[in-house]
């Protein structure tokens, strides 16, 4: 046998090539299985399940230990999202047109991520990060800035939706995140949040204006489970509601500019 030959039919070079090929095939299968760890079951454009897992199948469960004592196990089955649209029988690439209150449809600019239904927590002690000033006595608004509390909140149509009753701050960043709005009785009288980045404080006129939605549409802003806390999921739903107003607040906004 020649130098390097293991048998008359196999040498070191052939063994290395076979080993590399088997390793590469195993790597592809492993990566494909890990790729199935998130996002299944798959759905089509109309929300119907198309649970395609591929030839590699699903990976075994893996536990991720995250801060504040919470463990996440993957793969995990996400909550199923049901879209209300008016063209379920249309061709597959037809644009979806939400029905009902489009700001709550979860489609287009009103879409939101299914984040954890728990408050964002401070790293040091795990306490809620975003809270109203009434439960954060060590924080206050800068005296040189306008204090929006007591100001009327108006929509894009200048209709009064309520008044700012409280300011919500991010205790980790020292920033104002939300304004709490006490709605007028005609809109249900609830307390809802509006992101501070989505309104304009007009100090001279003594009002806070939201150009994204109409005054009456404040009635359906997603609410809170706890009046002194906002969860990550609630934050996403609230922000998506106002963002959806960019396209859905009025029929004219959904039309082309030209």
Q: What is the pLDDT of residue 215?
A: 94
Is the pLDDT at 210 greater than 80, yes or no? yes
pLDDT digit string (tens) for 217-228? 999 999 999 999
pLDDT digit string (tens) for 95-136? 777 878 888 888 888 888 888 888 988 888 888 999 999 998
Q: Are the C-beta atoms of residues 45 and 67 closer than 8 Å to each other?
A: no
Q: What is the pLDDT of residue 20?
A: 95
Q: What is the pLDDT of residue 33?
A: 83
206-212 average pLDDT score? 94
All domains in the chain, ordered by first residue: 102-251 (3.90.50.10)
pLDDT digit string (tens) for 158-201? 999 999 999 999 998 889 999 999 999 999 999 999 999 999 99
pLDDT digit string (tens) for 15-26? 889 999 999 999
Higher pLDDT, 94 or 190: 190
162 forms beta bridges with 153, 183
Distance, in Å, from the CA atom of 230 to the CA atom of 169, rounded to the nearest integer, reads 11
Q: What is the pLDDT of residue 47?
A: 58
Distance, in Å, from the CA atom of 197 to the CA atom of 53, rounded to the nearest integer, reads 41
Is the pLDDT at 53 greater than 80, yes or no? no
Is the pLDDT at 245 greater than 80, yes or no? yes
Ramachandran class of 159: left when φ > 0, alpha when ψ lies in -120 to 50, beta otherwise: beta
Q: What is the pLDDT of residue 93?
A: 66
Q: What is the pLDDT of residue 137?
A: 87
Q: Which residues contact 207 (CB under 8 A, 6 or more apart)?
A: 151, 152, 153, 154
| Cβ neighbours, 10 Å, residue 205 | 11
CA 173-178-180 angle, 5° bins = 140
- Pick from 71-85, 141-155, 207-221, 242-256: least confident: 71-85
Q: Are the C-beta atoms of residues 212 and 196 closer than 8 Å to each other?
A: no
pTM: 0.75
Distance, in Å, from the CA atom of 91 to the CA atom of 75, rounded to the nearest integer, reads 32
């Amino acid at each position: 046998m020649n130098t390097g030959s293991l048998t008359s039919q196999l040498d070191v070079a052939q063994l290395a090539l076979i080993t590399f090929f088997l390793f590469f095939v195993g790597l592809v299968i492993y990566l494909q299985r890990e790729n199935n760890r998130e996002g299944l079951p798959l759905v089509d454009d109309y929300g119907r399940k198309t649970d395609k897992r591929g030839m590699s199948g699903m990976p075994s469960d893996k536990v991720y230990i995250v801060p504040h004592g919470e463990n996440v196990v993957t793969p995990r089955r996400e909550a199923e999202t049901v879209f209300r649209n008016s063209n379920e029988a249309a061709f597959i690439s037809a644009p979806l047109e939400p029905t009902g209150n489009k700001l709550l449809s979860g489609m287009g600019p009103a879409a939101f991520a299914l984040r954890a239904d728990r408050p964002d927590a401070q790293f040091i002690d795990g306490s809620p990060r975003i809270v109203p000033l009434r439960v954060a006595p060590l924080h206050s608004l800068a005296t040189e800035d306008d204090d929006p509390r007591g100001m009327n909140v108006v929509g894009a149509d200048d209709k009064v939706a309520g008044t700012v009753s409280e300011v919500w701050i991010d205790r980790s960043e020292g920033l104002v995140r939300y304004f709490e709005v006490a709605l007028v009785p005609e809109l249900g009288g609830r307390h809802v949040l509006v992101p501070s980045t989505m309104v304009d404080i007009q100090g001279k006129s003594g009002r806070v204006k939201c150009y994204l939605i109409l005054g009456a549409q404040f009635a359906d802003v997603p609410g809170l489970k706890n009046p002194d806390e906002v969860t990550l999921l609630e934050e996403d739903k609230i922000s998506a509601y106002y963002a959806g107003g960019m396209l859905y607040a009025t029929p004219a906004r959904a039309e082309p500019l030209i």
